[in-house]
């Protein structure tokens, strides 16, 4: 019971972050929750909850979803990078690859934070496509390409409502693929299904708290917190 309570606390905190900043739940759950529950059991229980929370966030901000940004400027370049990630997963030492990509994400986020954000300069089209392709490659190799996508969006003058709602659609698309994979591999055991109601309650609490925080965050504060979390994400990957 103690482990389940601790895991529920991790999930609640993860979704406070996700609902308030638009990303980060998976990173937090994997980083903190892996000490409490093996990932082959944790992720199948967690990912459907992430889809549900993302769907609620999309419903709350449906009018803010930028379809052109998602379908024409993000997904095509991410999908182009996925085969590279899969090839790297099969042929290379992915431990060092993850550390390298984490160091890149961390360095980019740190540079943005040190600049003070006085002037928001969107990446050039070539840089944007490169980062998104790297995000796709990272997702193909590790199932976690979010940091590069978040970096690209965080560099643009995008309202926080558009940022969160558009990313929520992206997370749904990517996580549905993961759930189908988990089903095909038979990972939804009675043990995993038995943990989901408690984690669902924790996710609901985290969503409620995070959404209230999101509405109170000023745009500049929101943007700084995005890059702080990116710095944490990059550091975790780099030292993992």
Written in H, E and C, the secondary structure of the chain is: CHHHHHHHHHHHHHHHHHHHHCCCHHHHHHHHHCCCCCHHHHHHHHHHHHHHHHHHHHHHCHHHCCHHHHHHHHHHHHHHHHHHHHHHHHHCCHHHHHHHHHHHHHHHHHHHHHCCCCCCCCCCHHHHHHHHHHHHHHHHHHCCCHHHHHHHHHCCCCCHHHHHHHHHHHHHHHHHHHHHHHHHCCCCCHHHHHHHHHHHHHHHHHHHHHHHHHHHCCHHHHHHHHHHHHHHHHHHHHHC
Q: How confident is the model at residue 116 (pLDDT cuts 50, 70, 90)?
A: low
Q: Which range of residues forms the domain containing residue 67? A: 2-239
pLDDT band for position 115 (cuts 50, 70, 90): confident
User: 111-138: buried (b, 16+ CB within 10 Å) or exposed (e) per residue?
Assistant: ebeeeeeeeeeebeeeebbbbbbbbbbb
Tens of pLDDT, residue by residue over 141-198, are 666 667 888 888 888 788 999 999 999 999 898 888 888 888 988 989 999 999 999 9
Average pLDDT estimate for 124-139? 86
Predicted pLDDT at 120: 65
Say whether pLDDT at 117 is over 60: no
Mean pLDDT of 214-237: 88
- What pLDDT does residue 207 have? 96
**What is the mean predicted confidence (pLDDT) over 11-29?**
90
CA distance 112 to 57: 27
pLDDT higher than 80, residue 101 = no
Q: Which residue has the higher pLDDT, 148 or 201?
A: 201
**pLDDT > 70: percent of the chain:** 93
The candidate with the shortest Cα–Cα distance to 144, out of 7, 35, 240, is: 240
Residue 118 has pLDDT above 60, yes or no: no
Mean pLDDT of 195-221: 94
Greater confidence (239 vs 166) lies with: 166
pLDDT at residue number 140? 72
The model's confidence at residue 94, banded by pLDDT at 50, 70 and 90, is: low
Region 197-224: mean pLDDT is 94
Q: How many residues does the chain have?
A: 240
Into how many domains does the chain fold? 1
Instruction: Using alpha carbons only, give the angle 196, 145, 122 rounded to the nearest 5 degrees.
Output: 130
Residue 200 has pLDDT above 90, yes or no: yes
For 47-85, the pLDDT digits (tens) are 899 999 999 999 999 999 999 999 999 999 988 888 887
């Amino acid at each position: 019971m103690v482990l389940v309570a601790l895991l529920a606390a991790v999930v609640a905190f993860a979704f406070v972050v996700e609902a308030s900043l638009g990303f980060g739940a998976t990173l937090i759950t994997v980083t903190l929750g892996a000490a409490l529950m093996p990932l082959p059991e944790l992720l199948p229980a967690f990912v459907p909850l992430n889809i549900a929370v993302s769907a609620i966030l999309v419903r709350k901000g449906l009018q803010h979803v930028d379809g052109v940004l998602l379908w024409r400027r993000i997904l095509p370049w991410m999908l182009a990078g996925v085969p590279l990630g899969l090839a790297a997963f099969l042929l290379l030492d992915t431990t060092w690859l993850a550390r390298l990509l984490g160091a890149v994400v961390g360095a980019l986020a740190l540079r943005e934070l040190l600049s003070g954000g006085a002037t928001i300069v969107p990446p050039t089209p070539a840089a944007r496509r490169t980062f998104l392709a790297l995000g796709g490659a990272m997702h193909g190799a590790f199932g976690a390409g979010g940091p590069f996508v978040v970096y690209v969006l965080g560099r643009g003058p995008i309202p926080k409502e558009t940022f969160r709602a558009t990313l929520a659609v992206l997370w749904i698309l990517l996580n549905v693929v993961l759930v189908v994979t988990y089903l095909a591999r038979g990972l939804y055991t009675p043990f995993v299904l038995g943990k989901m109601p408690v984690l669902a309650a924790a996710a609901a609490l985290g969503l409620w708290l995070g959404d209230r925080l999101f509405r109170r965050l000023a745009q500049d504060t929101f943007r700084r917190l995005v890059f702080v979390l990116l710095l944490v994400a990059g550091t975790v990957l780099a030292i993992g």
